[in-house]
Amino acid sequence: MTARTSLTIVLAAGEGTRMRSSIPKVLHPVAGQSMLAHVLGASPSGAGAALAVVIGPDHQPVAAEIRRLRPDATTFIQRERLGTAHAVLAAREAIIGGADDLLVVFGDTPLISAATFERLRAALKNGAALAVLGFRAADPTGYGRLLVEGGELRAIREHADASPAERAITLCNAGVMAFDGHRALQIIEKIGNSNSKAEYYLVDAVAIVRELGWETAVIETSGEEVRGINTKAQLAEAEQIMQARLRTAALEAGVTMIAPETIYLAADTTFGNDVTIEPFVVIGPGVSISDGAVIHSFSHIVQSSIGRNASVGPYARLRPGTLLGDGAKIGNFVETKAAVLEAGVKVNHLSYIGDAHIGANTNIGAGSITCNYDGFSKHRTTIGVGAFIGTNSSLVAPVKIGNAAYVGSGSVITRDVPDNALAVERGQQTNREGGAARYREMKTRGEPKQG
């Protein structure tokens, strides 16, 4: 037995089964990350592991996602959708070099773990030409069935081609396979397309390996880990499984969640110590929550960083680019976007703060708005340290409010306010003595009595 070190991974991410969507299947998100990102995150990487990804034509967004995640990957285009074996052969150039192992991975199995890939590779060590990953499915509809005879895997039959007896088999093909890299091309090139869909099925590699007199191996794993996502319903199931994993991990990390089943997390959410998340909070990708922060109910947070002991919500919406300093407070019905709120800033009620920088300890009164958009472009609002923005003010950007400046309630601020200045912009108030009584009399005169 010789050591197997070099590895080629072929990730089939082209046009497989469709999900009735204009978005390529592998870009559909699970817990805020594309399925592709999940699979790549679990796939072996590092020295000796070359990654080849097969994508469909016109799949620029998929190519961009691969570049973002793994700039070292080589991308191959499968021009026609002719099946999983055809997809793998699109990466022939990557396979022909003959690394020790060839791992074939599908882009639509987002729940798979790194350990499973390792187990599969380990199964090649005793000389098998092919190791297949199997799982028991309560409902095996749609999956390829593993035909095992006398303890040995003889073939895999796709659901569409299976006999009623074969359809009763619950041991299914997960899709992931490990080939002996030196024999892989020879095997996969023999695969034909004589089946009901006239597709080149990678699963036929099993029967070919047997015909060539070589060994196959089967590794079993849980169905929860390898369910392939072909439909929106399966996508929703995968989300539930992933959310359950993330909630458990957050609880284990010390996050307080009294109703974890109502809280949605992203795969990359990070938490400090003593974080509390109240029920019904949705956290999207790119969120970090520091020590002691509290996220109150019904808040929605994406691509934001929340400082120590900060408080968010209830009913707050933090959009991308929100940076909350330590002890900052975002209250109910407040929306922020591309906004830095330094330590101790308070925006307690009914505000929109966008494209803004707010200095430490500034207080933004209820209903105040940064008017960042003039219908053509976005403009910035800068507010100094220790300033006070009175209730219901409109700050028409671009505008700067100085340190310790004070803006009177209801002002529409269109010019910069210097440090320590008091800015008030509002119409003169007139009081008419007895005017209310005269008004009521006028409205009721000659009108029929109520009731």
Among 29, 32, 107, 313, binds ligand UD1 (CB under 6 A): 107
Kindly list the distances between the CA atom of residue 75 and the CA atoms of 11, 14, 68, 406, in Å, as whole numbers in the listed order: 10, 11, 13, 57
Q: Within a 10 A sphere around the Cβ of 256, how many other Cβ atoms?
A: 13
Q: Is 87 in the site for ligand UD1 (CB under 6 A)?
A: yes
Smallest distance from the beta carbon of 202 to ligand UD1, in angstroms? 4
Spatial distance between the Cα atoms of 133 and 4, rounded to a whole number of angstroms: 19
Among 16, 223, 307, 402, binds ligand UD1 (CB under 6 A): 16
Spatial distance between the Cα atoms of 424 and 216, rounded to a whole number of angstroms: 81
Q: Is 110 in the site for ligand UD1 (CB under 6 A)?
A: no
In the bound state with ligand UD1, the residue whose beta carbon lies nearer, of 86 and 300, is 86
Partners of residue 335 on adjacent β-strands: 317, 352
Q: Is 81 in the site for ligand UD1 (CB under 6 A)?
A: yes
Q: Within a 10 A sphere around the Cβ of 30, how many other Cβ atoms?
A: 22
In the bound state with ligand UD1, the residue whose beta carbon lies nearer, of 38 and 86, is 86
Residue type for 394, please? Answer: S
Among 129, 132, 203, 219, binds ligand UD1 (CB under 6 A): 203
14's contact among ligand UD1, Ca ion, none, with CB below 5 to 8 A by partner kind, is ligand UD1
Smallest distance from the beta carbon of 304 to ligand UD1, in angstroms? 32
Q: Is 111 in the site for ligand UD1 (CB under 6 A)?
A: no
Residue type for 194, please? Answer: S
Q: Is 230 in the site for Ca ion (CB under 5 A)?
A: yes
Active-site choice (159, 349, 357, 379): 349
Q: Is 339 in the site for ligand UD1 (CB under 6 A)?
A: no
Strands (E) located in 28-143: 29-30, 33-34, 49-55, 74-77, 101-106, 130-136
Q: Is 223 in the site for Ca ion (CB under 5 A)?
A: no
Phi, psi of 132 (to 5 degrees): -115, 145
Q: Is 202 in the site for ligand UD1 (CB under 6 A)?
A: yes
From its phi and psi, is residue 91 left (phi > 0), alpha (psi between -120 and 50) or beta? Answer: alpha
Catalytic site residue 86?
no
Strands (E) located in 97-144: 101-106, 130-136
3-state SS assignment for residue 152: strand
Q: Which range, of 63-71, 84-92, 334-342, 369-377, touches ligand UD1 by CB under 6 A?
A: 84-92
Q: Which range, of 80-88, 321-329, 385-393, 397-405, touches ligand UD1 by CB under 6 A?
A: 80-88
Among 86, 121, 296, 329, binds ligand UD1 (CB under 6 A): 86
Smallest distance from the beta carbon of 28 to ligand UD1, in angstroms? 11
Q: Is 228 in the site for Ca ion (CB under 5 A)?
A: yes
Task: Give the DSSP H or E segment for 252.
Answer: helix 232-252
Residues 145-174 that bind ligand UD1 (CB under 6 A): 156, 158, 172-174
| Residue whose token pair is 């120590």 | 308
Spatial distance between the Cα atoms of 304 and 73, rounded to a whole number of angstroms: 29
Q: Within a 10 A sphere around the Cβ of 383, how many other Cβ atoms?
A: 28
The tokens describing 402, both together, are: 């100085």
Active site members: 349
Binding interface with ligand UD1 (CB under 6 A): 12-17, 25-26, 54, 78, 81-84, 86-87, 106-108, 143-144, 156, 158, 172-175, 201-203, 228, 230
